[in-house]
Amino acid sequence: MVKIFIDAGHGGKDSGAVGNGLLEKDLTLRIAKRVKQLLAAYENVEVKMSRTKDTYPSLAERTKAANVWGADFFLSIHINAGGGVGYEDFVYPGSSKSIAYQNVIHSEMVKQIDMKDRGKKQGNLHVLRESNMPAILTECGFIDNKDDAAKLKGENFIEAIAKGHVNGLVKAFDLKEQKADDDCEYYIVVLKGDTVSKLAKKYDTTIAKIKSWNQLDDKYTIRIDQKLRVK
């Protein structure tokens, strides 16, 4: 079982970078949740998140949670600021295992997103230094650049960022997709805007089956972050 710890940067009292009507903390949480949802399609992978809501765990709390859990990899998702443009990622200086994973994840990220490649970098950052496992921090565009921000406002671009992370993790850890047969149960994590009707259509099933599998009430009530069987 591969244990992936996903850290949605900032949160709560710490908005992170701000620009063009966007908050970094909101974007990182959306991306992190979608990464978790996409990883649910693969076998032998377990995901834990540093936060699932608009809260602020300290940097020490984030790395401690990953270390105590015994994660195999630490992924910290961020949005950049400071007048630049494009995508870049960081690992701790000289960490050979992290660098090896960075090579794979960076390659898959730049394949997915239409954004300037600022390269693979190294930095003495807390989440990279204090995590006991290989770790990477991704900076997915500049919130204060109007062109990058315009992309970050699009749902399709957020999806591309999430897929880039997932494709990198799949390749780095040789993850296999769950078998798509009638006997294989398939679960997703409910995101904002999901409804039973939408999910039934997306996963080619029926509302009645989703209700039965998950013992939903007659109003088909589901909640954000709920693990839901859809196949």
Instruction: Identify the three-state secondary structure at position 9.
Output: coil
Task: Catalytic residue, from 46, 139, 155, 177: name it.
Answer: 139
Instruction: Identify the three-state secondary structure at position 180.
Output: coil
Q: Are 121 and 102 in contact (CB under 8 A)?
A: no
User: For this structure, is 61 an active site residue?
Assistant: no
Q: Provide the token pair at 171.
A: 């390749």
Helix (H) and strand (E) counts in the chain: 8, 10
Distance linking the first and last C-alpha atoms of the chain: 22
Q: Are 228 and 36 in contact (CB under 8 A)?
A: no
* Cα separation, 16 vs 29, whole angstroms: 12
Give the 3-state DSSP-derived string for 73-118, with helices as H, strands as E and coil as C: EEEEEEEECCCCCCEEEEECCCCHHHHHHHHHHHHHHHHHCCCCEE
Instruction: Count CB-CB contacts under 10 A for residue 212.
Output: 11
Residues with active-site annotation = 139
